[in-house]
Chains A and B, each alone.
Chain A
Amino acid sequence: MPSAAASWGRIYAIVLRYIYLLRGSWPRIIEQMYWPTVQMIIWGFVTQFFMTNSDWVAQATGVLLSAVLLWDVLFRSQLGVSVPFMEELFARNLGHLFASPLRPAELILALLVISLLRTLLGVGTAAVLAIPLYHISVFEIGLPLIAFFTSLLVFGWSVGLVIASLLLRYGLGVDSLAWASIFALAPLSGIYYPIATLPDWLQPVAWVLPTSHVFEGMRKVLFDGVFDTGFFLNAVGLNVIYLILGSWIFYRAFRSARNRGLLLQVGE
């Protein structure tokens, strides 16, 4: 077993490597904040329109904006894992990393830490800007916000690990998956409408996603002022399964890459 201090030292080294990258590139820092802010502005106007034209939405100030910001937590956290991993492929650096004492589990942990930092930077900026712009504060959700944020963050990690596995196996030829794949889950996640809106046959599929439970839980808080622990516990349980599954797939991809000699060759 590796010593904990040495292991944390290596995880810190990888986190530092991505912070160096961010620090040395202002476009990357701006990019973290850009999309969440643009989404927030667009949906803020949509929300304002509905607030003056729809009784339904007017009951829950900021429901759409909260949904957008929480959806972006998922998107950013997934990108936070898959994009830094993709950068190692672009840099042809995987050989150096995996010939060092760095273990795959340590790389995964470092990617999760940097994903958290990038998500906080991006979505946090947009959430704070929404307060002076629309007088809507997602922070008014209170403690349940932490539960929603964490659930979406963890599910984003799981999806990010699967995408990193595909990048390891198929190279940069599948890099578009990093940007596009999460949107396939959007219609099933009930971000802007209840799961009951979906056709009957599709609803069981939606309920196996933690995102469905998070957004239903969010609406419960915003419409009824109630934090439904059932939704929360379902999301936690599903997240545990998906995170284990994502890590297992990454390990399988890593083993396959070692067998096929891809750690030295992976690229386009």
Chain B
Amino acid sequence: MSLIIEVENLFKAFGSVHALDGISFNVERGAICGLLGANGAGKTTTIAVLLGLLTPTSGSVRILGRDFLADRYAVLPHMNFSSPYVDLPQRLTVQENLDVYARLYGVNDRNSRIDRLYDALDLAEYRDRAYSTLSAGQKTRVALAKALVNQPELLLLDEPTASMDPDTADRIRHYLKDYRARSGATILFASHNMNEVERMCDQVLILHQGRIVDSGSPARMIAAHGRVTLEEVFLDVVRTPAAAARENPAPGQNL
């Protein structure tokens, strides 16, 4: 299996605060990798570095086999993301927003690609509505459509089902798994929804105060901690991260 993300000894400091404190991990092609952590643990910082929106203090990042920090513009056309912390232009319609981003990513068959996304994400009825008039859940789906518009090989999702009702969230999870199966894409997503991560992810990274304190498949982590759910494991790890790391050292953190 080839590696899509290779992160080595990544540091990011904001003054005296170490947002990332030397994290290293790999993600294999086609994997769905969950990024867990309490608020301020470093999830969004990690994703921002992987998107080129944040320059790390030190460390190396290779994505799709390329040195991302030196040559991110060769890689960015093959990636995409959505995050509740970044929005789309409010006054543009859904169609206009998707059209602009399809052009930015150089999508050739823009209209058919956007039409397919309308069908898949149940957005057709909103295509001519201004983005500002949509509900939070609808906006999250539009942001997801934007994230899929270039059929990315690597999809970074920050809380992808935030603000969605359970039915819609379940449809989105199925769509993402189906997209991974059809395209072989790799998905890295940060979430506070432990049940979602447990159901979706092949591998999980738990971040605490800028460090990876545990990693592995959900099943392995649950078994290793003698727990029933990933949420229980998460609470064990973030409440006593040093002890958890001693008992369950992250196995190479090669995801």
A residues in contact (CB < 8 Å) with B = 2, 6, 9-10, 12-14, 16-17, 20-21, 24-25, 87-88, 90-103, 255, 258-261, 263-265
Contact = CB atoms under 8 A, between A and B. Distances in A.
Contact of A261 (B54, B79, B105): B54
Contact of A96 (B44, B88, B106): B88
B89 A101 contact: no
A99 B104 contact: no
Given A99-B52, A101-B77, A101-B105, A24 B93 contact: yes
B76 A13 contact: no
A264 B85 contact: yes
A14 B100 contact: yes
Interface of B: 14, 44-45, 48, 51-55, 73, 76-77, 79-81, 83, 85-93, 96, 99-101, 103-106, 130, 146
A2 B72 CA distance: 12
Contacts of A100: 76, 80, 101, 104-105
Nearest to A97: B104
B54 A17 contact: no
Contacts, number: 106
A259 B55 contact: yes
Contacts of B53: 95, 98-99, 258, 261, 263-264
Contacts of A12: 103
A261 B17 CA distance: 13
Nearest to B130: A24
Q: Which 4 A-B pairs have the closest CB atoms?
A: A13-B103, A95-B86, A92-B87, A99-B51
B96 A9 contact: no
B73 A2 contact: yes
Given A9-B106, A93-B89, A20 B100 contact: yes
Contacts of A13: 100-101, 103-104
A21 B77 contact: no
A261 B45 contact: yes
Contacts of A260: 14
B152 to A, nearest CB: 11
B90 A91 contact: yes
Contacts of B55: 255, 258-259
A96 B76 contact: no
A102 B73 CA distance: 8
Nearest to B75: A101
Contacts of A264: 44, 48, 53-54, 83, 85-86
B100 A24 contact: no
B46 to A, nearest CB: 12
Nearest to A263: B53
